[in-house]
């Protein structure tokens, strides 16, 4: 006798396995972040904390020893300097949670910056085409280096 129920049972089982694999791949620790070259660093930066919201976190990556030394010296020092850099599309593999990042070859710390590039990370995210195409740079005045993450 031919068992017609078996194929119907296999399809839901395959779908269940596929859903579990997909859920695992979309978990908090996935997808895996790319390994960055030795001698480079990623720093967590908080901006816009003065609005009472606790601020917004974004990340910068640098291979420049001077920038890494400056950022390291600023960890935990509060809002001392302004992080500035050219905006690029995509998270760059290090600014997860955002669809933009600062060009690692252009990241710098400044004492002053022009007002046009000042804003909050959510402002950039909300109007990415404008920030990328018109402003071109991001220099939130209220930045502080929270931690070296890698």
Of 84, 102, 83, whose CA–CA distance to 93 is shortest?
A: 102
Model pLDDT, residue 122: 96
pTM here is 0.75
Beta carbons of 95 and 124 less than 8 angstroms apart: no
What is the tens place of the pLDDT at every residue in 87-132?
Answer: 999 999 999 999 999 999 999 999 888 888 999 999 999 999 999 9
Beta carbons of 81 and 143 less than 8 angstroms apart: yes
Residue-wise DSSP of 65-81: HHHHHHHHHHTTS-S-S
DSSP state of 129: H
Band the pLDDT of 23: cuts 50, 70, 90. Answer: very low
């Amino acid at each position: 006798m031919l068992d017609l129920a078996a194929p119907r049972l296999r399809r839901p089982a395959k779908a269940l396995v596929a859903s579990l694999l997909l859920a695992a791949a979309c978990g908090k620790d996935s997808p895996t972040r790319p390994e960055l070259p030795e001698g480079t660093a990623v720093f967590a930066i908080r901006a816009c904390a003065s609005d009472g919201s606790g601020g917004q976190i974004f990340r910068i990556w640098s291979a420049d020893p001077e920038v890494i030394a400056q950022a390291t010296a600023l960890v935990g020092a509060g809002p001392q300097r302004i992080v500035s850099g050219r905006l690029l599309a995509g998270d760059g593999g290090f600014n997860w949670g955002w669809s933009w990042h600062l060009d690692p070859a252009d990241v710098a710390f400044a004492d002053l910056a022009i007002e046009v590039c000042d804003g909050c990370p959510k402002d950039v995210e909300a109007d990415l085409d404008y920030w990328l195409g018109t402003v071109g740079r991001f220099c939130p005045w209220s930045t502080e280096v929270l931690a070296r993450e890698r």
